[in-house]
């Protein structure tokens, strides 16, 4: 688990710089390296779910309901088409490094959307 933690902190370290703390709630190195990790901040939680090397990101306010990051971004006019299809016609946005770049670029949009969800 230490190696996963180190990798996530290296890839998503900007989140800890922004005040988030990392908790790994599930790690299965024997099952494709699948994991569930949560970066928790005072006003936003970000859950990373890795399933067979695809990383899905969900967002919520503390105590709220999880919502897919892509749905939030699409509601704000930021379409999935920003990432191309890969060589076998799968969307390339589920790579860990791609999710990290998206979170870094759109963190303020996601925070704003989460803050407005209850209004």
What pLDDT, on the 0 to 100 scale, is given for residue 117? Answer: 55
For residue 62, what are the domain limits?
2-116
User: What CA–CA distance (Å, rounded) separates 77 from 64?
Assistant: 23
Domains in the chain: how many in total? 1
Q: Are 20 and 48 in contact (CB under 8 A)?
A: no
What pLDDT, on the 0 to 100 scale, is given for residue 46? Answer: 97
**Which is more confident, 89 or 27?**
27
What pLDDT, on the 0 to 100 scale, is given for residue 116? Answer: 67
The per-residue pLDDT for range 73-82, each reduced to its tens digit, is 999 999 888 8
Burial of 72 (0-12, 13-18, 19+ CB in 10 A): buried
The per-residue pLDDT for range 39-91, each reduced to its tens digit, is 999 999 999 999 988 999 999 998 899 999 999 999 999 988 888 777 777 77
Q: Are 80 and 71 in contact (CB under 8 A)?
A: no
What pLDDT, on the 0 to 100 scale, is given for residue 118? Answer: 47
């Amino acid at each position: 688990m230490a190696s996963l933690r180190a990798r996530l902190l290296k890839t998503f370290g900007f989140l800890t710089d922004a005040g988030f703390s990392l908790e790994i709630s599930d790690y299965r190195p024997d099952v494709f390296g699948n994991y569930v990790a949560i970066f928790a901040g005072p006003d936003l939680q970000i859950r990373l779910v890795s399933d067979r090397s695809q990383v899905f990101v969900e967002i919520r306010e503390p105590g709220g309901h999880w919502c897919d990051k892509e749905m939030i971004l699409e509601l704000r006019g930021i379409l999935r088409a920003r990432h191309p299809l890969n060589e076998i016609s799968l969307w390339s946005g589920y790579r860990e490094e791609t999710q990290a770049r998206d979170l870094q670029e759109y963190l303020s949009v996601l925070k704003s959307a989460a803050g407005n969800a209850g209004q």
